[in-house]
């Protein structure tokens, strides 16, 4: 399997980056940022940059094995590129890393999804395919086998007589068995065992060795040999068939009855059919854009401007705002019959009820995430974070809290984003508050831990 095909896995009706895909995205993002930093931050001449980037990629491949390494090994990275001011490099990476990472992930997903669909949506796919793919990855990633190349090619003649011995075609060099590869050594030993073994001898069986299943259990059949003799002549499988045939012949005939009404056996409730996973209906980014636009019109009290804007947005946006308004009413204490609301939305939009239910759950989660994110940044400003820094950080964090990826990947990305926060009190506060929010997102969004 190629690196790209291995970079995504199915999740919630769509494809997301796998652990290998996360590491690939981090590597590509770091490479792009450092290319810019070498030229503009360290003022390295342009002709020297390609060679340095090639060395950087090799360095990352050997020393940065997980996504967490990219957040924890900034000093090592600074030393490698020749940056003495680790804080300066960390602030640069923190300021630009996540926005670049988001674009990199999108590019990887666009390229990898078609390859992944060929694997995971293949109608002829069987579990053995996964084994073959994993073996292919293992062979591709394995280090070369140490040791000398074998000096001979072993050929075993399995049709030889008892006195035969394995023959080898010498190709020069040492013929010691210690130079053989494991497979060749196995063939050599196997050939020796075959050479020592006695030849197989078969007793002559009847022309039709299979038991006569129509003969019943009548012992007065026309067989010419005794039961003990017949057992000796039969192979194990033939003896099993004969015994099985006798059991069937001796068994009473099956009686089938049609049960109706109270005669029907009580088998309990029918097994529940697992609900099909519904793909994401709205992104956190789209929700924020719509809700922030509404908030802007409310602050300026521009009722006419709001009406024109609302009329211009697509039906999808109107559905999102409608659900958000209903969620807001419920938050203020008004009772809401969500079953009726979801049924009504499905009928008006032609969507499935499961899709409308999913959209409603997402909007409820997004409202909580947005509120907690804004509150955390406001507290950080009080703790000394500059307002301009908080505004720039908000856009990055909004992308970080998107309904995708895993809890662990979000936690790592948060460390990268907070590298730009140089006020210790504000950084500690955001690390605690947003770290806790990420764990809650795992529950609200239904994200995996890894």
Please tell me the predicted confidence (pLDDT) of residue 193. Answer: 72
List the structure tokens of 18.
């796998």
User: By three-state DSSP, how is residue 8 classified?
Assistant: strand
d(CA 11, CA 319): 25
| Whether the predicted pLDDT of 229 surpasses 90 | no
| Whether the predicted pLDDT of 170 surpasses 60 | no
Please tell me the predicted confidence (pLDDT) of residue 234. Answer: 59
CA dist 176 → 156, 181, 341, 401 (Å): 17, 11, 80, 62
Lowest mean pLDDT among 108-117, 131-140, 391-400: 131-140
| Whether the predicted pLDDT of 438 surpasses 60 | yes
**Is 195:164 a contact under the CB 8 Å cutoff?**
yes
| Whether the predicted pLDDT of 167 surpasses 50 | no
Which of the pair, 137 or 112, is modelled with greater confidence?
Answer: 112
| Mean pLDDT, all residues of the chain | 78
Please tell me the predicted confidence (pLDDT) of residue 258. Answer: 46
Hey, what long-range contacts does 362-365 have (CB within 8 A, 24 or more apart)? Answer: 362/280, 362/281, 362/282, 362/287, 362/403, 362/445, 363/282, 363/287, 363/320, 363/323, 363/324, 363/327, 364/327, 364/444, 365/403, 365/441, 365/444, 365/445
State pLDDT tens for residues 4-46. 778 888 776 678 888 888 899 999 999 999 999 999 999 999 9
| Whether the predicted pLDDT of 334 surpasses 80 | yes
List the structure tokens of 94.
């923190």
Provide the pLDDT confidence category of residue 350 given band limits of 50, 70 and 90. Answer: confident
Please tell me the predicted confidence (pLDDT) of residue 98. Answer: 86
Please tell me the predicted confidence (pLDDT) of residue 153. Answer: 45
Please tell me the predicted confidence (pLDDT) of residue 328. Answer: 92
Percent with pLDDT over 90 in the chain: 47
| Whether the predicted pLDDT of 3 surpasses 70 | no
Provide the pLDDT confidence category of residue 237 given band limits of 50, 70 and 90. Answer: low
Which of the pair, 123 or 217, is modelled with greater confidence?
Answer: 123
CA-wise closest residue to 7 among 104, 72, 129, 124: 104
State pLDDT tens for residues 255-311. 555 444 444 444 444 444 334 578 889 999 999 999 999 999 999 999 999 999 999
State pLDDT tens for residues 208-220. 554 454 544 444 4
Mean pLDDT of 439-443: 93
DSSP 302-334: -HHHHHHHHHHS-HHHHHHHHHHHHHHHHHTT-
Please tell me the predicted confidence (pLDDT) of residue 405. Answer: 82
List the structure tokens of 280.
């994401």
| Whether the predicted pLDDT of 382 surpasses 90 | yes
**Is 216:249 a contact under the CB 8 Å cutoff?**
yes
Percent with pLDDT over 70 in the chain: 66
């Amino acid at each position: 399997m190629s690196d790209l095909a291995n970079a995504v896995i199915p999740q919630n009706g769509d494809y997301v980056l796998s652990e290998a895909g996360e590491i690939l995205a981090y590597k590509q993002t770091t490479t792009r940022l450092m290319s810019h930093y070498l030229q503009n931050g360290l003022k390295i001449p342009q002709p020297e940059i390609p060679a340095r980037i090639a060395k950087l990629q090799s360095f990352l491949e050997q020393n940065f094995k997980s996504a967490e390494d990219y957040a924890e090994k900034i000093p090592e990275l600074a030393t490698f590129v020749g940056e003495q001011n680790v804080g300066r490099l960390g602030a640069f990476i923190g300021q630009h890393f996540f926005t670049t990472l988001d674009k990199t992930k999108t590019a990887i997903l666009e390229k990898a999804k078609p390859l992944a669909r060929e694997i995971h949506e293949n109608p002829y796919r069987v579990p053995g395919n996964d084994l073959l793919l994993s073996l292919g990855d293992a062979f591709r990633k394995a280090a070369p086998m140490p040791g000398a190349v074998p000096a001979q090619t072993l050929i075993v003649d399995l049709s030889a007589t008892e006195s035969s011995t394995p023959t080898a075609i010498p190709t020069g060099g040492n013929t010691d068995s210690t130079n053989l590869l494991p497979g060749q050594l196995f063939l050599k030993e196997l050939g020796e065992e075959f050479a020592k073994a006695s030849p197989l001898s078969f007793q002559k069986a009847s022309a039709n060795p299979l038991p006569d299943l129509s003969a019943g259990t009548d012992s007065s059949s026309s067989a010419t040999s005794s039961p003990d003799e017949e057992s000796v002549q039969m192979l194990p499988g033939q003896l099993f068939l004969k015994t099985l045939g006798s059991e069937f012949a001796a068994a009473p005939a099956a009686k089938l009855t049609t049960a109706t009404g109270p005669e029907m056996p009580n088998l309990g409730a029918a097994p529940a059919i697992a609900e099909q996973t519904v793909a994401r209906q709205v992104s956190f980014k789209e929700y924020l854009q719509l809700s922030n636009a509404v908030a802007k019109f409310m602050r300026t009290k521009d009722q006419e401007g709001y009406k024109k804007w609302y009329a211009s947005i697509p039906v999808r946006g109107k559905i999102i705002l409608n659900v958000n308004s209903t969620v807001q009413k419920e938050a203020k204490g008004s009772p809401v019959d969500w079953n009726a609301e979801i049924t009504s939305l499905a009928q008006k939009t032609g969507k499935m009820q499961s899709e409308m239910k999913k959209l409603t759950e997402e909007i409820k989660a997004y409202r909580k995430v947005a509120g907690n994110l804004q509150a955390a940044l406001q507290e950080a400003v009080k703790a000394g974070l500059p307002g301009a820094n908080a505004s720039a950080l908000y856009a990055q964090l909004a992308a970080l809290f998107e309904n995708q990826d895993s809890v662990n990947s979000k936690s790592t990305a948060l460390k990268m984003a907070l590298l730009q926060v140089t006020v210790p009190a504000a950084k500690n506060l955001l690390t605690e508050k947003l770290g806790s929010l990420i764990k809650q997102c795992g529950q609200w969004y239904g994200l995996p831990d890894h």
